[in-house]
Amino acid sequence: MEKSFAQVRKELDDLGYTETLKPECLPLVRRLLGDLKITTESLRKYMKISQQALEERDNLKFGAEPYKCDNAKLIKECNELHLAFIKFKEQHEKVQRDLRGKVVSLESQLTDCGIEKQKLKLKVQELEQDLKGPAKRVPQLRPKSQITISKAKTDINKKAQAIMATSDSKMTKLSEDIRHLKDEQIQLLKNNDFLMLQLENRDQEIKRLASLLEGGRPTKAVVNDCCYKNIDNKFGTLQDEITSLKREKTALQNQLTESLSKQHEAMRRALSLAERNKNLEEELKDIDKIALSVEAECNTTVKSNFEKVTRLQDKVNESQIQIQNLEMSIYKLNIEKTELLTELDSVKLEKKKLQAILDSESDEKKRLTDRLNNFTIIEQDLNLEIDRLLRLSSDQKRRISELESDLTAEKRLFQETENTLRKHRPSSDTAAKTKSSSNIKHKSSCRKGLSARDDPESKIKTKREHSPPSKERSGGKGISYDLKMKSKCCCEAGGCIKWMKELLDKEIELRQEQATQQIDALRNEKEFYMKEYHKLLERPKSTPSSSDKSSKQRDDLLNRIKEKDQIIATLQDDLKNLTNEKYALTSRLEAQSREMSTTDFDDICTKTTCKRRNRELDVHREEVKHLERENNSLKSKIQSLSETSLFNEERMKKAFQEMEEHITRLENERRDLVISQGTNRSNVSHLEDECRILREKLQIAQKEANTQKANYEQLKILHDQINRALSDCQTQLLRAESETQSLQSKIGNTHREASGYEREVARLQGDVDVMKTQLTKIDKEKDELLNIVDDKTEKIDKLENELRDKKNKIGALEKEIKDLCRKIRTISEENCSNDSQLRAIKQEINLLQQDLDNERRCKEIAVQENRRLQDDMTSLSLDCKDARKELEISKRQVEDLKRQLQHYVAEVKRTEDLISQKELERTEILDQFRNLSQENNVLETTNHTLESEATQTRVQLSVALDHTSDLERKIDNLEAIIRSYEKQISELTCQVASMEMQMKQGTSSKERISEEIKHLKDLCVKLDNEKDEMKREIRNKEDQKMALERKMDLFTRENSELKRALDKDKDSQDGLERLLNEARQDLVEQRLLNEDLQNEISTLRGKVDELQERLAVSTEQLDLFQEKAFEYGQQNKQLRRDIANERFLRSRDDDSKRYPSL
């Protein structure tokens, strides 16, 4: 008690409290001193925190000052530009108004000038008629009547002119007054509209400035916040503050050193107060129980907060997913809207194209009919040519039969001549043999040549050659025939064969050329019709409405293609027949050549020319074989063409079926699109409602995110406090380790009695090692928690960025709303201008009606005057004829006036129709304005809802701040509990130090006892007394042992309690890790969903791009096909011209062959 009293007294003296202390107040004063220390430490800590916060605030202010300056400048510039724009707009509207007034006045002046012009013309006509009347009347009237009539007329004319002049002047004055009043009224209305517009602009500017000043300070304060104003004064004040802060820092450091020295002294004094701690242990246990209960409550509250945070995060994620889905749906709907608009535009363009295509198709029908007529003509020509070729083949057959009969007759004649020669000249056998051999060769050559001859001249030549021997069968005649045959030799026979072969080659070439030309022409026609068929197949895609017409045209073209295929087949049959005839002719020629070669004549021509002719004959034979091969190859080509034509027909049929299926699909898709358009509109309205709801949810989620941020910051603070407590525990453990080492060194010098103490110290060392391992684990777990916290911060930053993006999108939507409001204003202004124009038109109509009334009155006055004149004219019998003429003229004038009135009435009706149309347009514009006003009301309601939500968010923020203040109070309580634990640890360290002092005293007593034993060895008598003393000392040591054991038990209990606290911390850390893992899994799932959605978007975009590319390719192909069709049409025309030219040339060549004289 005395030691504790002395320590408390010293502490109070050090603190400056010199009042008297009573021993009864000692425990209370001790507690107050402990509370004072805790408060001083907490004050220092929070002073540091406040200084850091102030420094951060100053840094933020210093960094924000240039932005404030820029913001102030921009606000000034924006306001100036807005005012300049309003002034410019007002000036522009004034100028437009003045110009419109000038235009109206000029138009009124023009109309007045036109009316005056017409009136003057009418007056001139009347004056001319008046001048003509007296000139005619002068010779007819008598002098008496002339004077009276002239006087009466002059009086009447003067009166009428005076009345008309006064009425006209009055009417003009009244009309001018009315016009002036109307112009003034129009100007006043325009001024009123202009002033109303100015008021609206002013109201808008007031609203804009009010919106700028809603959530902050006025613009003057913002302008005054410029960082560049009074910067030198600010630098001076900052330097003064820095110097004052440095001085305060040095003073505080000195105070810190002094306080630390005082603290060491207080700690030394506190060691003496360790005995009184035993009485306070029970109170500490009660406090520990209370602290455990508080910790349990805190843990439960923390768990509930974590669960709330997880729920809120799930809600935020769900809302984000819903927002993303809605954005995707809105984007798709916008795309579909644009596609539908493009489709509407394309449909309109297609309608126009279809009309053009219908016109072009009608023209093409005409062209196709013309082409069909031309093709029918060509078919007729081909049939005629085929008939001609058949006739030629029949003529050739006849010629061949005639030539064969001539050859048989020549053989008989030749044999008869040989018999006569043998009878008359038996001695000249050799000469006869040579002649006969030459004649035989000549005959064989003629057979070969005549078998393929076409011209009738060959018959004539053969008849001329063989006619003398048939007529003259006497000896002298046979000698003359032999002489002729000798002179001809086999060379002439070779020339005949060559000539016949050339004729055959020409005919074969002509037929082959004709066949190839016909096949090419038919092939070109087929290709042309197939291309037109493809075009007609492709046209139903772009023209679904004209599908029936295109199908009919397609059927017609298919029938025509089939007819052309039949024509090709018939021509191929004709070719085959011609080739068979050719083969027959060549076989006959070869047979005849063999027969002529088999005849055994001894005489052979030995001339070189004959040998050369024979060689040429062999070469020509090889050429004939080559031509036969070419003919076979042409046949194979024709067969391949026919096969390809059949294949193309099948392919076209399949393509036609596929195109019909595609057309049906497109029609179904179009119907589905029309249905889906209505559903999409309903979906759009539903999605807009959902978007509003989700905006509200988003704001709620933002509020919840802010609360989560606050909770997260509180958790950070708790984590930092735990780390600090752990660091303090580590330092205390290190101190305990150093103290244990010192104790081990001191206990090593002691005797065997301290072995138990050494065992207990070893056990404590093992506990310390366990604690170290646990601390290392805790450090690792702390690092993991820090990593998790960093991940959380990154996620929070991402969420903040997403929220910023959403806010930017909301700002963009608000901008669009503002643009719509501007459009509404422009439309309203246009409506006002239209209304003013309508009023002006109505006023003009009223003026025209007044003019009509005036003209009617004038007409009535004129009729009255005519009646008066008729009464006057009846009295004058001589002037009846002239009066009748004048009446006829007046009737004509009346008819002209009636016509003019009818024309005027028609124009009035037209103007009324225009007015009715404009009224209809006005009603439509008013309906649009109503719709826009409704949308504006909806937007205003949304703005009101947003404002109410903002007030709700403010209320929730105040609630969150109250919650944070409660949590801070709880944290302060926990810090007080931790400090009490720290006090307990310090007291335990004091107890350990007192034990060390006792151990030192024991060692010193032992040394004294050893010295006394050495001195009293000789004194055996005094051993009993010394034994008694030793027993007493042993008992004291045993008491000391018991006390140390009790202290060791206390240490073990404290270790167990610390372990329990560590286990609780571990459990809380495990819960945090679980929550963090769940949050990570949720984020991973969200990322996967986002990636899937992005992939789907990319695929859809790719499909859209592919469809667009297909459209572009199809349009390019259509253009190419149209160009090709145009080129093929030109080529067809050129081919027809070429065919006509070739036919003309062929006919001319045939005529030249038939009639060589020509």
Residue 425 predicted with pLDDT over 80 = no
Quote the CA–CA distance of 57 and 64 in Å, as a whole number.
10
Residue 896 predicted with pLDDT over 60 = yes
Give the pLDDT mean for 157-169: 65
Mean pLDDT of the chain: 69
Name, in order, each residue with C-beta under 8 angstroms of 119's C-beta and a sequence gap of 6 or more: none
Quote the CA–CA distance of 432 and 601 in Å, as a whole number.
11
User: Please, are residues 852 and 904 in contact by the beta-carbon 8 Å criterion?
Assistant: yes
Model-level pTM? 0.22
Highest mean pLDDT among 84-88, 142-146, 321-325, 842-846: 84-88
How far, CA to CA in Å, does 751 sit from each of 102, 755, 953, 1007? 130, 8, 76, 11
**Confidence bin at 556 (pLDDT 50/70/90):** low
Q: What are the tens digits of pLDDT across the range 241-275?
A: 777 777 777 777 777 777 677 666 666 665 666 66
- 1016 phi/psi in degrees, rounded to 5: -100, 20
How far, CA to CA in Å, does 279 sit from each of 274, 285, 994, 1047? 10, 11, 17, 14
Name, in order, each residue with C-beta under 8 angstroms of 177's C-beta and a sequence gap of 6 or more: none
- Determine the longest span between alpha carbons in the chain, in angstroms: 213
Give the pLDDT mean for 215-220: 50
**Confidence bin at 1019 (pLDDT 50/70/90):** low
Quote the CA–CA distance of 513 and 790 in Å, as a whole number.
92
Instruction: Determine if residue 453 is left, alpha or beta; phi over 0 gives left, psi from -120 to 50 gives alpha, anything else beta.
Output: beta
Highest mean pLDDT among 7-21, 157-171, 371-385, 766-780: 7-21
User: Please, are residues 540 and 547 in contact by the beta-carbon 8 Å criterion?
Assistant: yes
pLDDT value, residue 177? 75
Q: Which range among 295-299, 376-380, 608-612, 672-676 shows the weakest confidence by mean pLDDT? A: 608-612
Highest mean pLDDT among 507-516, 808-817, 905-914, 974-983: 808-817
Give the pLDDT mean for 882-894: 69
Quote the CA–CA distance of 688 and 304 in Å, as a whole number.
36
Quote the CA–CA distance of 245 and 1154 in Å, as a whole number.
135
Q: How many residues does the chain have?
A: 1158
**Confidence bin at 872 (pLDDT 50/70/90):** low
pLDDT: which is higher, 486 or 716: 716
How far, CA to CA in Å, does 226 sit from each of 63, 208, 229, 466, 987? 12, 23, 6, 137, 58
How far, CA to CA in Å, does 265 sit from each of 30, 176, 203, 272? 16, 116, 76, 12
Q: What is the CA radius of gyration of the chain?
A: 65
Please name which of 1072, 361, 1062, 235 lies closest in space to residue 711, comparing C-alpha atoms. 1072
pLDDT value, residue 435? 40
pLDDT value, residue 234? 60
**Confidence bin at 445 (pLDDT 50/70/90):** very low
Residue 814 predicted with pLDDT over 70 = yes
Percent of the chain scoring above 90 in pLDDT: 0
Give the pLDDT mean for 751-763: 63
Quote the CA–CA distance of 1135 and 1127 in Å, as a whole number.
12
Residue 540 predicted with pLDDT over 70 = no
pLDDT value, residue 957? 64
Give the count of beta carbons closer than 10 Å to the beta carbon of residue 44. Answer: 13
Name, in order, each residue with C-beta under 8 angstroms of 658's C-beta and a sequence gap of 6 or more: none
pLDDT value, residue 407? 73
Please name which of 443, 433, 499, 434 lies closest in space to residue 469, comparing C-alpha atoms. 443
Asked whether the CA dihedral 875, 876, 882, 886 is positive or negative, the reply is negative
User: Please, are residues 730 and 713 in contact by the beta-carbon 8 Å criterion?
Assistant: no
pLDDT value, residue 48? 87
Residue 741 predicted with pLDDT over 50 = yes
Please give the structure tokens belonging to residue 288: 């520990």
**Confidence bin at 494 (pLDDT 50/70/90):** very low
Please give the structure tokens belonging to residue 74: 């921009």
Q: Which range among 139-143, 232-236, 416-420, 770-774 shows the weakest confidence by mean pLDDT? A: 139-143
Please give the structure tokens belonging to residue 372: 């069909």
Q: At what angle do helices 755-875 and 880-1015 cross, to 10 degrees?
A: 170
- The DSSP secondary structure of 75-143, one letter per residue, reads HHHHHHHHHHHHHHHHHHHHHHHHHHHHHHHHHHHHHHHHHHHHHHHHHHHHHHHHHHHHHHHTTTS-H
Q: What are the tens digits of pLDDT across the range 276-292?
A: 666 666 766 776 677 67
Residue 924 predicted with pLDDT over 60 = yes
pLDDT value, residue 479? 35
Residue 742 predicted with pLDDT over 70 = no
Quote the CA–CA distance of 733 and 776 in Å, as a whole number.
13
Residue 398 predicted with pLDDT over 70 = yes
pLDDT value, residue 674? 72
Give the count of beta carbons closer than 10 Å to the beta carbon of residue 200. Answer: 13
Quote the CA–CA distance of 536 and 524 in Å, as a whole number.
18
Give the pLDDT mean for 167-195: 74
Give the pLDDT mean for 552-565: 65
**Confidence bin at 845 (pLDDT 50/70/90):** confident
Q: Where are the alpha helices (DSSP H) in 543-607?
A: 547-598
pLDDT: which is higher, 790 or 81: 81
Residue 314 predicted with pLDDT over 60 = yes
Quote the CA–CA distance of 458 and 533 in Å, as a whole number.
53
Give the count of beta carbons closer than 10 Å to the beta carbon of residue 247. Answer: 10
Give the pLDDT mean for 65-88: 78
Please give the structure tokens belonging to residue 1024: 């009993």
Long-range CB pairs of 444-447 (<8 Å, 24+ gap) are 444/493, 444/592, 444/593, 444/595, 444/596, 444/597, 444/599, 445/490, 445/493, 445/494, 445/496, 445/497, 445/596, 446/407, 446/493, 446/496, 446/497, 447/403, 447/407, 447/592, 447/593, 447/595, 447/596
Give the pLDDT mean for 1001-1017: 70
pLDDT value, residue 612? 67
pLDDT value, residue 45? 87
pLDDT: which is higher, 400 or 56: 56
